[in-house]
Amino acid sequence: MRIPALLAAPLLALATVPAMLPAQPLPAAQQTAHQRVLPLQGGRNFRDLGGYATRDGRHVRWGLLFRSGAMSGLTPADYAYLDTLGIRFVCDLRTARERAAEPTVWRGTRKPDYWTSDALGTGGDLGRLLAPGASVTGAQIRATMIDLYRTLPETHREAYRAIFRHLADGQVPVAFNCSAGKDRTGVGAALILSALGVPRETVIADYALSDKVVDFRKAIAAQPNSPFAKMPDAVLTPLLKSDPAYIEAALDAVNARYGSVEAYLKTALGLTDADIARMRANLLE
Angstrom distance (rounded) from CA 2 to CA 147? 23
Annotated active-site residue in 93, 178, 196, 253:
178
Q: What angle do CA 1, 180, 167 make, to 5 degrees?
A: 140
Length of the chain: 285
Question: What are the CA-CA distances from residue 274 to residues 26, 168, 224, 265, 279 (Å)?
Answer: 37, 9, 52, 12, 9
Mark whether 91 is an active-site residue.
no
Which H or E run includes 47?
strand 47-48
For residue 69, give the nearest of 272, 219, 278 by alpha carbon. 219
Angstrom distance (rounded) from CA 187 to CA 108? 27
Angstrom distance (rounded) from CA 11 to CA 148? 9
Amino acid at 114: Y
Contacts of 100 (CB under 8 A, 6+ apart): none
Enumerate the active-site residues. 178
